[in-house]
Structure 1
Amino acid sequence: MSKSANLFIILNILAFLSLFTSLSWGYTYTVRSEHPRIFINSDNINEIRQRAATVNKDIYLRILNSPIYGIETHYNDPVGNGDLDYIGRASIVYVLGAIPGVEYQHTPEEYGMKAKEHLIARAKTILAGNGRCDCEFPRILEGYDWLYPLLNSTEKKLVVDAIIHSAECGDGKNFMKTYSDFGSKAPGGHRFVMAGLAFYGDGNEIGDGSQADYYNNKAKEYCNDFFSMWWNGVMAAHEWQGIWMNGLDYTQTYINRLIWVAEAWATATNINPYQHFTYFKNIPLYYAYGLRPENCSPDHKMTFSRLSDVRFTYVKPNTYLGDILENLIYRYKIEGDLDTAGLAKWLMDKFEETTWYANEYDLLWYDPTVQAKSPKDLNLPLTKRFRNLDWVYMRSAWQDPDATFATFVCQPYYFSNHDSPDNNAFTISKKGQLAIRSGCYENGDKWNHERNYHYRTIAHNTIIVYDPDEVFKWGKEVSNDGGQRWMSSPPPDVSSLTPDSKWATGGIKRFESVSGEYDYIFGDATRAYQSTLYTDEGNDPKISLFTREFVYLRSPDGNHDYFVVFDRVNETQKNFNKPSAQASNGNFPDGASKKRWLLHTKYNPTITGTEIFVREGKWSYTDVNLVTITDKENGGKLFLKTLLPYHFKINKIGGENPDKDGRDHNFEDAEGNNYPCGYNSIGEFYSQFTWKPEYGAYRIEIEPTGEDVKPYNLFLNVLYPTANSSTSMPETIRIEASSGNMVGAHIKDNTLNRVVMFSKTESNVISVTYTISTTAQVTHLLCDFEPNYNYEIYKNGQKILEKTSSNAGTIYFTSQGGGTFQVVQVGQSPPVPPPSNLKATPGSSIVLTWDAVEGVDGYNVYRSTTSGGGYVKINSSLVTTTSYTDENTTPGVTYYYVVTSVADGRESTYSNEASCTEPALSPVSNFTATPGDGQVTLSWINPADSDLAGIKVIYKNDGYPANYNDGTLVCNIT
């Protein structure tokens, strides 16, 4: 046994600039003097023995006798370089001693001696330079700690030397000294912050004099690093983020290292990290919220959504996840948090780990007596924002395979090399994946596809803005996809993540979730691009603004859910005027918009509009009414209705081409060319899984055209996920506020009409006036208002209620039927009532009449050739009567009119719309013009119309008159 460990005081203050308030801990930590202490100590060993004899007896027996990993099965195998698996399994059998009721072919001591042989062989392998650094831990520590009584001084020294070598090999402390790529590599620091615990205070057992001091000081150094690097560095960063920034896949690989460290310190010292970091409690929440709804169906195994750079559009569990969940079940039961333990148990039950697989961690931490608690049992909210990573998961119900499910991401910072440049991207599923993250992460020629497509902005449901001069480099120059900035390296340390740093990429600025009603997200991705806020050296700013407002409108049964996506994008003038380097292949021809709104899917979309074949794998559509994506395999469907820009076309790019294995895969690199992804995309690492991947085969690009080819664009799209038995999307129209400051959508769903409105600019609004037509009940969600103000809401000039805008700047209310709605801050002048009963009567001119409004100064008259918007004032001065004659009309053209009231310089909202078509007149026939001496003789035959009143002769010197008001009146013959 080692001598008593000394006490050390650690005080560390680390200011993470804008990320954190000052973090300050002062701790006295004590390392247990006796062995074992790594995961097992004198306090818990009897409880572990008891579980091994009862509820975990089957695990214990599999450790002994499994035909794959059983220590008895492999007892006589050659030791070779030392088997880490054998060390872990045989060492725990030794340290626990004989378990009552178990029959052994060898005694626990004999298994311990066999484990010792493997441990010594492994130590020699490591010191010979043939070890595997990270992979040696924690089993080499378990072997040293649990077999401690079996080791003599020479053997202890050999193993400790191997531990030190492994702790510091490869990147060693640089993993944590610099936190380089702290998202995925920093957990490598688990090596030395655990290593110090194993041989702490053992120096005198290993050597004498200076040699003993060396080992004691090395152990102290490692333990001190636990606070200065792990506690105040890695864990503080994860605590701030709330979850693991590398997504649900890499989490399985790395998060167990954090748990090993926490568990080792909880058992070896008086410091229990679980009681200090809520991060650990978030782990089962992370997986529960990432679990895809279709997993509730017996036809689907456990899969998760993907929000990071991994091989799949979904994430499959691996064996690491089992260890993570087992530990959480045990640990949170100890901590008294049976809800978190129950949620971990529920996830564990869904994870179908093979029955033969069992190791020391199963025996240590799995507790089948914990009652599983599903998210539904725990009544978890249906929406979760993980701050400050700014990933949002949304669903319509728990444990419903037909639930609507969506994700949204807008990270405030680039954290690690597995982050994708995909801010403001979303996914949507219903029965299966409908709007997805595209591409694949191959094992073969992965770099070409990953660097040019899969990892890039163009493979995600967000926006690209093309600058022909922009340069993207990943070791070498890669394709210009028009996407977000390329981060050539992760931040050097956590304190580098400041709002003005190169790694700052925007983030979610406003968020609100109202149970049963809606979720509202405001993401600002401006800094993620080469922008006026930040530009990488060698590039120019191409935008000054990109914000996305993402609204999930819920329905009681989840079958009438809608997503409204509203974007503001402003190009810099320099980028807007640049000629396109890609004009030759037609992707961004000169004169065309450099913006594209992207949507990816597995399935060939049906687009109602005029189709134009561009080239193989690319089609364009004009006059588009609706896009329909049908998942015939799983039964889902997604409708897309584009309301803005006013003028646009849709490009469809992709196709389904079978690869050599007969599976349909097709990808486009940044230039839009097909890229086949073969069987190897599954990858050897995942060869134990055979589930069909969900790579995207098509992408949709919404491209502004005509008058909307300009620097500042608004995009407004409504998406309707439903069952593929639905044949149409409810009528959805654009609403233009008559006050001119807002625009939105009116979804005329028979179950419940929905209205969502947004500010046309990045500035918040303080009032709005808009009109809708319906007799149904309507919910109104008004966004971008000044937050926490009191507002009065009027319908047709009558006050109906007062509301206070939320912290997120939204106003939400319900009305029965439509009308003209006005929202003003309390204390403002009441709105001016609009005229009513507007009528239009045709004749030689169009005559308008309306009902008078009391107390007004007069009226303005507006006209358009399009119903519902585009009105232009046609009166030159205020109309003081209740009628107006429009004499500037063209026969055969239909005009649409509205009238407003004006009082004290304030104008009302629009009246009802009235339309009228001036009858087309029959033309004269046989018209001739005969020249003479200083004169022209005109002749014609009058039309046979019975109501003919006369003939006007119009002269124009510079062209043919466009209508009877265009030119000089020569005569009027009656």
Structure 2
Amino acid sequence: MLKKIYGCFAFLLLWTELSQAQILPEAILGQLNSRDFSVNVALTSSAKTILANSSFADSEETIKISNLRPRLFVRADEDQVGSGLTLSALRLKIKDPAYQNWINYTGGISGWESLPAMAMQYLLNGDKKMAQLVGEYIANTPYNFGEHTSAAAMVYNSAIAFDWVRMALPKEMALKICARLVEGAEHLKGGVVTPSINHNYTFVSMYGVAMAAMAIHGESEAYNKQAAEYLGLLNHLLLDEHMLFETIKAKQGTWGEGNHYTPFVVFYPLLMTLNGLTTATSRDYFKIIQENYNDFLVPMSKFIIANFRPDLTLERIGDVTTRVVPHKSFLRPFIDLMALKINDQTLQGQIHSFSKQLSAYYGPDLVAEPYYWMMLVNYNAEIPDKPAYTTLPTAMRLGENSYEHIMFRSDWSENGTLISFLSGDHYTDHQHFDKGHFLIYKKGALVVDGGGYSKMYSDSWSNYSIRTLAHNNVLVYDPKEIPGKEVNKTEIYLDGGQRIIRGAQALTSWKEFNEKADALGLHTASVLAFDADTELNRYNYVKSNLTNAYGEKVTWMDRQLLYLPQADFLVVKDRVITPRPLDNYWLLHFEERPTIDGKIPETGVKDYQNASIVHSQRSGTLALEGQSVPYSGSLFVKTLMPTKRAISIIGGPGYEYYNRFAKKNFPPEKPFLQNRESGNWRMEVSPVKPGTSTAFLHAFQISDSSKKEMIATEYLRTPDGKLEGALFRSEQNPYLVMFSSSLDAKGHEQQTVNFPLKYKVKAKTPVNHVLAELAPNKKVKLIINNKNKGTFQTSSAGVLYFNDESDGVRRIRILAD
């Protein structure tokens, strides 16, 4: 009896609301008279196990799809299926000042992308004319299945819009639209049935199929069965062992397709799919992630925020587009959706404060008008914006033992320094051959990623932009090396860089990736040591093994970065060991013309024997609608090793993308936009003679344009030959940074330095000592000028830090305790 009373009451509430909205109640009578439709989605045993172990699983192993509309992202008030935003809660936002920027859409129908925005106006104010226009467009406009991402967008945008306006459309039109949605889903289904587990096509396919499945449900028994089939395939893709959720869990919320595809074409369709399924069905996929997959949305959100530079543009990593400056995009509502679905109040505040800061920089220009609807369904103004995102760690290791993206910051301010470092595995063709590559930003991009994303597999892309040559790496030139295979009849030239990997992005599961990774050479690099002084931020350190990235021409290669945030000094050391003498080149790319020992290089290739200091600056302004960001950074780079060397400066018109071995420039098919920062100049450091063992040692001073010359910096080697490094003779904050001097080809463990150690330093003020590649977790006695300074301990990464608290000459002894 109570159920009947409740049902009548719910019907009266809905009738009243629809009457106020001028929506014909006859359009939904069939929905109200039916019960929620339970569909058996033919879950695999793995998916059943995941669901059964979740706190919200039911005993029937069925998933219910709501019979009420709307159901995608917005739910009917009386709906007992699904969870999330209700229609009445949505309409309350009309008068809430927090949402006023996104209420009105005036763009009309201008393609598939505009349909949800039009349909949202119907949900908000019940304008049946808008609903009719949306329905007619979907029913009468054929899909154009061209590029895959665009094809998927046609399907999911039309499915979302149809769900929202369905109650105002006649049955005949609805059936015609459903037929079109099925046509679209069938076109995309292959990406769900046989996915490329590491590639963006899988995600946009999933989004299209999921939205179509939820949209067609309830229109007929045949469409109910079709929706059940699609939902079964989706659950297989998401939940089965070794499939999508497990893949993202293994990568710890990171992704390797660069800062266009990763946020916009992978994470965005993933979270929108999960949100749509959670509002439309009885499964909360976000809770499944929290309970079974290490809550990978937490590191995913940190990964996204960490990839923003202090100027609030994205790092130029991998294949990127102009969306690295994310104005007129849907990036903010995607970030707000992460805040909405993360079960961590501290992180919610950090994410929310970051999204508000984006709006402060970009102004109303941040979210394009066709995406206003996403702000209304993804943004919750009641989520606190404290603590601020600036309380996030300044050093992050993201994707440990998988993607391996390292970020070091001095702080999170606009004037702060950001250093990004790449290591880890290779997954897709949108990754570049850039293991060990690093970028430096301070008041502008001081060290940049060369080239850009012109045309995939084109001459410029294949021979420059994705190659090691375009990155801040070491080249090992072997004239006997066989160039990579041609793609689309593009001739491939040697660049001395890392192996070209093609045809490895079609692996269908995480299990298949792990089974074939060794044979395909996908384990390209690994982090050997990582350390961050999290309490005082005195130093950050990483050492990476890059040997596998270069193939058989290299016996051993590693790179170390030791960053000193309080002084903005950086030391980079590289070891290159080859089976026979080969030419090595150490590369660094700049946006603007550098100077070398005070000289201005001419356009072309100019060699400077035994040169020392290269100075690069960044000038100009990034003009955003909210505020302008001035660029005034400065970088000094001093080469300390090899001692006998040539430094070449290459660049200027006709030489921006130059390959010295091919004697050819590889410009893009059309010029890159300025905000890509594709690099116009680079420096190359090479030993005078080729050898089998080479060490490169470079000291960096990162500053603003007020610094006109580099502080005195010198090479230092201990008398016993165990350690070598750089002494920064800053009057205020001097530092001594040293590494193992070993060139042992057997690798990391053989390069580790054991105690005792003995060396001498002369300086006017106390010096901070940072020693790397020591035996890890060892207690040591520190003796300075024969005085015992106490017991210290090396970190788990083998780093020892101390201040000698002395002046003049100090004799250092470090003994095993």
TM-score normalized with structure 2 length: 0.81
Per-residue deviation, 1:527: 0.8
Aligned equivalents of 2:101, 2:540: Cα separation in 1: 45
Aligned to 1:637: 634
- Contact 1:11–1:24 (CA under 8 A) maintained in structure 2: no
Equivalent residue in structure 1 for 2:606, among 612, 619, 624: 619
Aligned pair in 2 of structure 1 residues 648, 682: CA closer, same or farther (>3 Å)? closer
> Which has the higher Rg, Structure 1 or Structure 2?
1
Alignment match of 1:717 (pick from 695, 698, 706):
698
Question: 1: distance between equivalents of 2:410 and 2:195?
Answer: 42
The reply on whether 1:108 has 2:142 as its aligned counterpart is no
Find the counterpart in structure 2 of residue 668 from structure 1: 658
1:395 to 409, 414, 420: 409
* Distance of 1:702 and 1:609 partners within structure 2: 17
Match of 1:481 among 495, 508, 521: 495
Amino acid in the other structure paired with 1:725: S
Is this contact kept in 2: 1:94–1:147, CA < 8 A? Answer: yes
Question: How big is the shift at 1:260?
Answer: 1.5
Q: CA offset at residue 716 of structure 1?
A: 1.1
Q: Please name the residue that 1:523 is paired with.
A: 544
Cα 1:452/1:404, change in 2 over 3 Å: same
Q: Is the 8 A contact 2:143 2:154 kept in 1?
A: no
Instruction: Return the match for 2:74 from 35, 40, 50.
Output: 40
| Structure 2 partner of 1:509 | 528
Give SS of 2:279's match. helix
Q: Distance in 2 between matches of 1:564 and 1:131?
A: 42
After TM superposition, the structure 1 = structure 2 runs for residues 772-791 of structure 1, keeping only pairs within 5 Å, are 772-791=761-780
Contact 2:43/2:232 (<8 A) preserved = yes
In structure 1, what is the Cα distance between the partners aligned to 2:149 and 2:738?
Answer: 61
Residue equivalent to 1:246: 257
CA distance in 2 between partners of 1:313 and 1:802 (Å): 51
Secondary structure of the corresponding residue to residue 319 of structure 1? coil
Change (3 A) 1:395 1:126: closer
TM-score of the pair, normalised by structure 1: 0.68
How far apart are the structure 2 equivalents of 1:334 and 1:741?
Answer: 47
- Distance in 2 separating the partners of 1:274 and 1:571: 49
- Secondary structure of the residue aligned to 1:472 is coil
| Cα offset, 1:312, TM superposition | 6.5
Paired residues for 1:524-563 under 5 Å: 524-530=545-551, 541-555=552-566, 560-563=567-570
Distance 2:447 2:683 in 1: 10
Query: In the alignment, what sits opposite 1:224?
Result: 232
Cα 1:625/1:365, change in 2 over 3 Å: closer
Q: CA deviation at 1:321?
A: 1.4
Q: Whole-Å Cα distance in 2 between the matches of residues 472 and 527 of structure 1?
A: 16
Which amino acid is 1:652 matched to? I
CA distance in 2, matches of 1:334, 1:715: 44
CA contact (8 A) 1:319 1:353 kept: no
Q: Distance in 2 between matches of 1:696 and 1:129?
A: 29
- In structure 1, how many angstroms separate the alpha carbons of the residues matched to 2:711 and 2:261? 41
Give distance in 2, aligned partners of 1:347 and 1:724.
26
| 2:788 alignment counterpart | 799
Q: Distance in 1 between matches of 2:149 and 2:419?
A: 44
Alpha-carbon contact 1:666-1:674 (below 8 Å) kept: no
Contact 1:392 1:409 in 2 (8 A): yes
Separation of aligned partners in 1, 2:282 and 2:70: 15
Change (3 A) 1:57 1:607: closer
Q: Report the more deviating stretch, 640-649 or 563-572.
A: 640-649
Between the aligned partners of 2:317 and 2:436, the Cα distance in structure 1 is: 12
Partner residue of 1:699 out of 682, 686, 689: 682
Contact 2:417 2:442 in 1 (8 A): yes
Change (3 A) 1:335 1:621: closer
Distance (Å, rounded) in 2 between the aligned partners of 1:406 and 1:737? 29
- Give the % identical residues: 21
Report 1:420-431 matches (<5 A).
420-431=432-443
Q: Whole-Å Cα distance in 2 between the matches of residues 339 and 752 of structure 1?
A: 32
Q: CA deviation at 1:547?
A: 0.6
Q: Deviations over 1:74-123 (max 9, x none)?
A: 7xxxxxxx953554234333345x4xxxxxxxx6234333332223224x
Q: Distance in 2 between matches of 1:610 and 1:329?
A: 51
Correspondence for 1:924: none
Which is further off, 717-726 or 317-326? 317-326
Counterpart for residue 754 of structure 2: 766
Secondary structure at 2:767 match in 1 = strand
- Give the letter aligned to residue 569 of structure 2: Y
Question: How has the CA–CA distance of structure 1 residues 189 and 59 changed in structure 2, closer, same or farther, with 3 Å as cutoff?
Answer: same
**Which of 87, 101, 104 is the equivalent residue of 1:62?**
104
Partner of 1:955: none
- How far apart are 1:33 and its partner, in Å? 3.2
Higher relative contact order (CA closer than 8 Å, sequence separation 6+):
2
2:280 matched residue in structure 1? 268
Whether contact under 8 Å (1:793, 1:799) holds in the other structure is: yes
Question: Cα 1:543–1:152, aligned 2, differ >3 Å: closer, same or farther?
Answer: same
Q: Which amino acid aligns with 1:543?
A: V
CA change 1:364–1:522 in 2 (3 A) is: same
Deviation string for 1:917-955 (max 9, x for gaps)? xxxxxxxxxxxxxxxxxxxxxxxxxxxxxxxxxxxxxxx
Within 1, Cα distance between the matches of 2:52 and 2:434? 35
3-state SS of paired residue (1:816): coil
Q: CA deviation at 1:318?
A: 4.4
Matched, 1:413 2:420: no
Structure-2 residue corresponding to 1:144: 162
Any conservation in 1 of the 2:461–2:668 contact (CA below 8 Å)? no
Deviation at 1:368, TM superposition (A): 4.8
Conserved? CA contact 1:610–1:624, under 8 Å: no
Structure-to-structure mapping, 1:184-263, within 5 angstroms? 185-200=202-217, 202=218, 205-206=219-220, 212=221, 214-232=222-240, 233-241=243-251, 242-254=253-265, 255-263=267-275
Matched, 1:452 2:494: no
Q: For the residues of structure 1 that align with 2:345 and 2:139, how far apart are their CA atoms?
A: 37
CA-CA distance at 1:773 after TM superposition: 1.8
Residue 693 of structure 2 aligns to which amino acid in structure 1?
Answer: Y
Amino acid at match of 1:189: M
Deviation at 1:810, TM superposition (A): 1.1
- Deviations along 1:365-398, whole A, 9 cap, x unmatched? 344555545845x512222221232112222222
1:757 matched to 2:741 = no
Q: How far does residue 562 in structure 1 lie from its aligned partner after superposition?
A: 0.7
Alignment partner, residue 12 of structure 2:
none
Correspondence list, 1:869-948, <5 A: none
Which residue pairs with 2:728 in the alignment? 747
- Contact 1:252-1:317 at 8 Å conserved across structures: no
Task: Describe the superposition over 1:893-924 as per-residue Cα deviations: whole angstroms up to 9, x where unpaired.
Answer: xxxxxxxxxxxxxxxxxxxxxxxxxxxxxxxx
TM-superposed deviation, 1:220: 1.8
- Give the Cα–Cα distance (whole angstroms) in 1 for the partners of residues 147 and 660 of structure 2: 43
How many Å separate the matches in 2 of 1:128 and 1:188? 14
Among residues 438, 441, 447, which one is paired with 1:435 in the alignment? 447
Confirm or deny: 8 A CA contact 2:570 2:701 kept in the other structure: yes
Per the alignment, residue 22 of structure 2 pairs with none
Displacement of 1:567? 1.0
Give, as a single letter, the amino acid of the residue that structure 2 aligns with 1:765. Answer: V
Greater percentage in helix? 2
Pair 486,33 (structure 1): closer, same or farther in 2 beyond 3 Å: same
Q: Which residue of 1 aligns with 2:572?
A: 565
Deviations 1:777-802 (A, max 9, x none): 11111111222222222224443221
C-alpha change, 1:87 and 1:304, in structure 2 (3 Å) is: closer
Other structure's SS at 1:711 match:
strand
CA contact 2:350–2:388 (8 Å) conserved in 1: no
| CA shift for structure 1 position 147 | 3.1
Query: Could you say which structure has the higher strand fraction?
Result: 1
RMSD: 3.4
Q: Is the 8 A contact 1:345 1:373 kept in 2?
A: no
Which sits farther off after the overlay, 337-346 or 637-646? 337-346
Residue aligning to 2:512: 496
